Amino acid sequence: MAGSGGCRRGREQLELERLGEAARAGSCPPSPPLSACSRQAWSRDNPGFEPEEEGAAAAAAGPVLEMDVEWGSPAAGASSPLGSGAAGPGGGGRRQRRVPAGRGGTEVPGRHQVPPDGAAPHRAAWAKRLARRLRGLWGTRLMEESNTSRERYLKSVLRELVTYMVFLVVLCVLTYGTVSSSMYYYTRVLSQLFLETPVSKMEKTDFKTLSTMDDFWKFTEGPLLDGLYWEMWYNNKTMAENKSFIYYENLLLGVPRIRQLKVRNGSCSIPEDLKDEIKDCYDVYSVADEDTAPFGLRNGTAWTYTNEKDLNGSSHWGLIATYSGAGYYQDLSRNREMTAVQIASLKKNLWLDRGTRAAFIDFSIYNANINLFCIVRLLVEFPATGGLVTSWQFQPVRLIHYISTFDFFLAACEMAFCLFVLYYMVEEILEIRIHRLHYFRSLWNCLDILIIVLSVAAIGISIYRTSTVDTLLKKLLEDQNSFPNFEPLAYWQMQFNNIAAVTVFFVWIKLFKFVNFNRTMSQLSTTMSRCVKDVVGFAIMFFIIFLAYAQLAYLVFGTQIDDFSTFQDCIFTQFRIILGDFNFTEVEEANRILGPIYFTTFVFFMFFILLNMFLAIINDTYSEVKSDMAQQKAEMELSDLIRKGYNKAMIKLKLKKTAVDDISESLRQGGGKLNFDELRQDLKGKGHTDAEIEAIFTKYDQDGDQELTEHEHQQMRDDLEKEREDLDLDRSSLPRPLSSRSFPRSLDDSEEDEDEDSGHSSRRRGSSSSGVSYEEFQVLMRRVDRMEHSIGSIVSKIDAVIVKLEAMERAKIKRRDVLGRLLDGVTEDERLGRDNEIHREQMERLVREELERWESDDTASQMSHRLGTPLGLNGQPRSRNSRPSSSQSDGIDGGGGGGGNNIHV
């Protein structure tokens, strides 16, 4: 290793001397500077490279050499070809220096010394490197350059996917950690207690089946009081004084509240003919028709109106109407006896009358065993038609946080979630800054914005809920005989649950953005995008027929069947019919004629025709997408990148053999000769692809007989041994810093070199393991430019040949048509017995012209061959073998100078 390092230092010293001599003598021009694109690429891939400013000072200094100096590493100082003086006390940084090339091999004074003001550039370089790494944290595929390699692009996608999966896991832990099966059983036992308990032992009516005001009062005096106040144990022993534990486990917080809303008399108009018979009229509920006047006893909150602001209430969406948070209310007591007296007084004084449109029963309970509040609302609506309709709401919420160990784990997840939201906000801002308005053209980008907005809204609601519950609990502890209004918390908790559910849904949907990089998985998105127009056209036709049937059903069955009572219910019911969930008996009983006709025609058109048309559109598009993908060129996928990284890890852990070891083992087993099929079968069993195997075999099979001879066998063995030595050398040199005068290669380039099978020589790999020098880079760049120029000229010549071939093909078809018409004319003259001398003369002239053209083409091609320029028709460049064969003429055989009678098709 020491010898190789000395040789390398000597070679680099000679290169410095050569550059100095060239600059002094002016015999050869200095290496051209990097182009703008090359500078940008080097500065992007190599954080240590800084493109220098080109000015008068640089021109006056003469030829310069880019120096990438290592700082603060003993190994760097030892291995540097410029001496140990390049290592300074600046830490582990790296900076660029412009050093004038020496003359005649002499050292340039001060070249290895740090300038007095070197600390400031070193700090600037360190700050730039830190900023670049921080920017790399938000590196996504939208921030990659358009000319980025496929592997680097997939690495950005993979990094983005891993980050997103961590975010998804954190979000799922948060959402599923706030809900549990205890919430379901909590609401279930409470609903059984208050909704399914009969109003009396002699009646089976419960809250769900209430039908009159008398049933409502029976419910409040029976199941409601029994459910709210558990003051006695089953052995008739009294529980704690002035406290009620529902089911002996759930503490009743404060006192319950009963509230009603009324409409005023005269809110609707009575026909003139019936005014003598009908004196009072109460319209359906609306805020404008709400009654605010005192009534009954006219004292207390139960008989006087209180507005929504004073009650700190909010509107409620019922089954019939949306009700405000105001009204007439009565707070009940903490014991059963006083509450029974209050309810009896309300009933006696006719608290509910014809103007009542809704009655609310609200109370809140807390279960310390599972740390859950339950906010209960029982609603009884009195429609203008008479009777009543019941609905209910049991909302379990976790308002007290950070008690158990799992709660603190959720707190950590909440902090991580907030950091992720902040991270993605910065990421989207950077992407919008780069792409401007083009950013919003992608559906996935709009989905990212939506997820961030929903996440911020959920965080705000959670903070508001946590701060509000502390105030309410403090107020409740101060006055336990008041009603704790947890209704706003229940509302915001419901909104939080809805936002969390929608957010989790969209976050899972976004996984398709990353899954689409797999060919198989991308078929779904490609199919849907291709059939959008057809699906939209089909949807228009579908909904025209669907809505026509919905209106028919609403008008015919709306007054008799609950499923068709509203137009919205008709739409949902018809979707259920398509899925097979229907009740034909109700439809038939509602209308014996139109019922069966409606049902039969609807099922026939919607299910048997339109639904199958939709499936046919999807099926045809999927077949097209699948056939197109089968013809596309296979590209590197995420699975290939992951498999590649896995194989590297297994090789480094020595749990899997390298390609060199596998090929060497196959050669040892093959003996003197090795067949291609045997090698392919053996290496495929060890995980290598057909392309790799064919490339290796083609390289060493020089005679092309599909077998490796002893000489070819030995050559492959020697190269594989060198390859193994280079791999070992690369592994041993991985921890070492890069050379001080070489550009560091990017991580992608080094990984590509390690993965190549056997196409590179050992010398090239050995020399490039520590970097590529500036001179070598310039030489390689010039070679690539010449190669691109040569390939471009070849492609242009191929295009010219293709154009000429197409022109020849068109001329051949035209001549064939002319000869065909002439032959048809000769045949017709012979059949009719007419003189065909004119047609024969025309054919002889055409054949003679064709032969002369062929002879002139041959003469021109021979002359152009002698001159080195191939010419085709009319002096244009063409191939020597441009003369059509007998098969190309395809209509002429024989055809001598005067043999017109011997021409046949």
Distance CA 837, CA 829 (A): 10
Question: What's residue 663's pLDDT?
Answer: 64
873 compared with 285, residue with greater pLDDT:
285
Closest of 286, 273, 377 to residue 324, by C-alpha: 286
Tokens 């740390």, residue?
371
Average pLDDT over residues 25-50: 39
Most confident of 21-30, 473-482, 602-611: 602-611
Closest of 905, 651, 633, 602 to residue 755, by C-alpha: 651
Average pLDDT over residues 675-695: 68
Closest of 507, 509, 505, 500 to residue 179, by C-alpha: 500
Tokens 């190669």, residue?
787
859 compared with 410, residue with greater pLDDT:
410
Question: What's residue 677's pLDDT?
Answer: 73
Closest of 335, 346, 375 to residue 260, by C-alpha: 346
Least confident range of 368-372, 379-383, 651-655: 651-655
Helix pair angle (659-670, 676-684), 10° resolution: 140
For residue 738, is pLDDT > 70?
Answer: no
Question: What's residue 711's pLDDT?
Answer: 72
Instruction: Give pLDDT tens digits for 689-715.
Output: 666 677 766 777 777 666 766 677 677
The 8-class DSSP code of residue 740 comes to T
Least confident range of 371-375, 494-498, 665-669, 755-759: 755-759
Q: Which long-range contacts (CB under 8 A, 24 or more apart) does 888-894 make?
A: 888/812, 889/812, 890/812, 890/816, 891/816, 891/819, 891/820, 892/819, 892/847, 892/850
Predicted TM-score (pTM) of the model is 0.58
Distance CA 472, CA 233 (A): 31
Least confident range of 498-502, 647-651, 822-826: 822-826
Predicted confidence band at 329 (pLDDT cuts at 50, 70, 90)? very high
Distance CA 550, CA 569 (A): 9
Question: What's residue 18's pLDDT?
Answer: 52
Question: What's residue 77's pLDDT?
Answer: 38
Predicted confidence band at 63 (pLDDT cuts at 50, 70, 90)? very low
Q: Are 599 and 587 in contact (CB under 8 A)?
A: yes
874 compared with 230, residue with greater pLDDT:
230
For residue 449, is pLDDT > 50?
Answer: yes
Within 10 angstroms of residue 659's Cβ, the number of other Cβ atoms is 23
For residue 631, is pLDDT > 50?
Answer: yes
Percent of the chain with pLDDT over 90: 31
Predicted confidence band at 650 (pLDDT cuts at 50, 70, 90)? confident
Q: What is the mean pLDDT of the chain?
A: 74
Q: Are 62 and 108 in contact (CB under 8 A)?
A: no
Question: What's residue 831's pLDDT?
Answer: 74
Within 10 angstroms of residue 646's Cβ, the number of other Cβ atoms is 11
Average pLDDT over residues 317-345: 93
For residue 82, is pLDDT > 90?
Answer: no
* Residue 696: exposure state from Cβ atoms within 10 A (0-12, 13-18, ≥19): buried
For residue 582, is pLDDT > 90?
Answer: no
Least confident range of 327-336, 519-528, 655-664: 655-664
Strand residues in 442-575 grouped as ranges (E): none
Least confident range of 423-432, 557-566, 896-905: 896-905
For residue 312, is pLDDT > 80?
Answer: yes
Q: Are 364 and 393 in contact (CB under 8 A)?
A: no
Average pLDDT over residues 719-732: 68
For residue 681, is pLDDT > 50?
Answer: yes
Distance CA 86, CA 71 (A): 8
For residue 744, is pLDDT > 90?
Answer: no
- Using DSSP, state whether 903 is helix, strand or coil: coil
For residue 898, is pLDDT > 50?
Answer: no
Q: Are 445 and 431 in contact (CB under 8 A)?
A: yes
Instruction: Give pLDDT tens digits for 218-275.
Output: 999 999 999 999 877 777 777 766 678 899 899 999 899 999 999 999 888 888 888 8
HEC assignment per residue over 744-760: CCCHHHHHHHHHCCCCC
* Residue 603: exposure state from Cβ atoms within 10 A (0-12, 13-18, ≥19): middle
Least confident range of 189-198, 579-588, 660-669, 890-899: 890-899
The size of the chain, in residues, is 905
Q: How far is CA 528 from CA 506, 531, 622, in A?
A: 18, 5, 9
Q: Are 861 and 869 in contact (CB under 8 A)?
A: no
Instruction: Give pLDDT tens digits for 542-558.
Output: 999 999 999 999 999 99
Question: What's residue 761's pLDDT?
Answer: 39
Q: Which amino acid is at 524?
A: L
Distance CA 95, CA 124 (A): 9
Question: What's residue 684's pLDDT?
Answer: 67
Question: What's residue 262's pLDDT?
Answer: 95
Average pLDDT over residues 723-740: 56
Helix pair angle (532-557, 594-602), 10° resolution: 170
Within 10 angstroms of residue 846's Cβ, the number of other Cβ atoms is 17
Average pLDDT over residues 760-765: 39
453 compared with 858, residue with greater pLDDT:
453
Question: What's residue 40's pLDDT?
Answer: 36
The 8-class DSSP code of residue 270 comes to -
Predicted confidence band at 803 (pLDDT cuts at 50, 70, 90)? confident
Q: Which long-range contacts (CB under 8 A, 24 or more apart) does 443-448 make?
A: 444/510, 444/513, 445/142, 447/506, 447/509, 447/510, 447/513, 448/424, 448/510
Least confident range of 319-333, 368-382, 840-854: 840-854
Predicted confidence band at 640 (pLDDT cuts at 50, 70, 90)? confident
Instruction: Write the CB contacts of 61 (distance below 8 Å, at least 6 apart in sequence).
Output: 98, 100
Closest of 777, 781, 766 to residue 68, by C-alpha: 777
Which helix (DSSP H) or strand (DSSP E) does residue 155 occupy?
Answer: helix 150-177
Question: What's residue 480's pLDDT?
Answer: 81
Q: Are 512 and 525 in contact (CB under 8 A)?
A: yes
Average pLDDT over residues 764-793: 68
For residue 493, is pLDDT > 90?
Answer: no
* Residue 580: exposure state from Cβ atoms within 10 A (0-12, 13-18, ≥19): exposed
Q: Is the dihedral of CA 206, 211, 216, 221 positive or negative?
A: negative
CA 351 to mean position of chain CA atoms: 59
Instruction: Give pLDDT tens digits for 396-444.
Output: 988 888 888 888 899 999 999 999 999 999 888 888 888 888 888 888 8
